[in-house]
Amino acid sequence: MTKFKSTKLRSVFAMAAVFALLAVPQGASAQKYPDKPVKIILPFGAGGVADVSARILADKLSAKLGQKFFVENMPGAGGITAARAVLSAPADGYTLGFVTNGTAISVAIFNHLPFDPVKQFEMISTIGTFNLVFAVKEDSPYKTLADFMKAAKAQPGKLNIGTINVGGTQNLGGELFKAMTKLNVVIVPFKNSPDIVVGLLRNDVQMQIDFQPAIQGQLNSHKMRAIATSGPKRSPFLPDVPTVDEACVRGYEVTSWNGIFAPQGTPKAVIDTLNKAIRDVTADSDLKAKFAKVGIDASASTPDELMARLKSDIVKWGKVIDDAHIHKR
């Protein structure tokens, strides 16, 4: 071999070695996700059920994946502000969002959302589900939901159901109940849950539809009594209380859910890593116990399952909103 050929071969080998070295960090970086802190943007204020559950999840993911997961609260504008912040971030898995059934309601109730969650959200997984509770005063004559319905039929327009926020899950759950039963009852929206409790206890409304944490204190002190829950099966937190479907209204179901999403274009490897981690931590007994304290049944899903749930709820709540003649925004 000539000196020229030998030198040329050394140059080729050297170049190949350089390219190989350059390729290693890139591949290693993708495999090491996450290699820096991860932010979860929450469309709610601090202290609520969503905030508490998001922080519990963040702590568990931090321990599981070896990097800090932290929650940034960004309430306002029906979740639009938070969603836009997530979607404007790099699609690299380091800025995540919190998606709920309220997102489906927003699609149905806002005429012009500045984003399309079906097209722009890379779903990762649900983290838990929770149900509405139908509750009456402890000394109410209505021992069952069927009793309430019988009285409502006998007194058209005389019985009131208290919920919060027109267009909220509680309110739409009431409107769905009214539509399916064809009862002539009045859905009365209140500013917040404590105001409904006051209204119920002084008989301004005869039934309250709300999430369990909002009325748990009244249930514990025996000032209120749960007569039905809204899920497809009995709540693990109120196992002796029948579902609305089981009690008297076949096909009635309202299940609220929380989940995690990333911006469109986030690498599948990152989505898969996060999905597996969420599956692992939501199966953890400590997380399940902590979620149970705020009325959430911890559970994970595939990305496709979460997207299917969002799409289904958009159709479902769109019909309820139209049937109830709720003003779109």
Exposed, middle or buried, 100 (CB in 10 Å: 0-12/13-18/19+)? buried
What are 202's two structure tokens? Answer: 């002084």
- pLDDT over 60 at 2, yes or no: no
Exposed, middle or buried, 188 (CB in 10 Å: 0-12/13-18/19+)? middle
- pLDDT over 90 at 5, yes or no: no
pLDDT in tens, 251-267: 999 999 999 999 999 99
Q: In this predicted structure, what is the pLDDT of residue 165?
A: 86
| pLDDT bucket at 27, cuts 50 / 70 / 90 | very low
- DSSP three-state, residue 172: helix
Q: In this predicted structure, what is the pLDDT of residue 71?
A: 97
Q: In this predicted structure, what is the pLDDT of residue 20?
A: 40
Q: In this predicted structure, what is the pLDDT of residue 15?
A: 42
- pLDDT over 60 at 16, yes or no: no
The overall average pLDDT reported for the chain is 90
Residues 11-32, mean pLDDT to the nearest whole number: 44
Ordered domains of the chain (ranges, CATH): 38-129+255-323 (3.40.190.150), 131-247 (3.40.190.10)
The answer to whether 290 touches 83, Cβ cutoff 8 Å, is no
Contacts of 36 (CB under 8 A, 6+ apart): 67, 94
Q: In this predicted structure, what is the pLDDT of residue 22?
A: 41
What are 105's two structure tokens? Answer: 């309601």
The answer to whether 161 touches 188, Cβ cutoff 8 Å, is yes
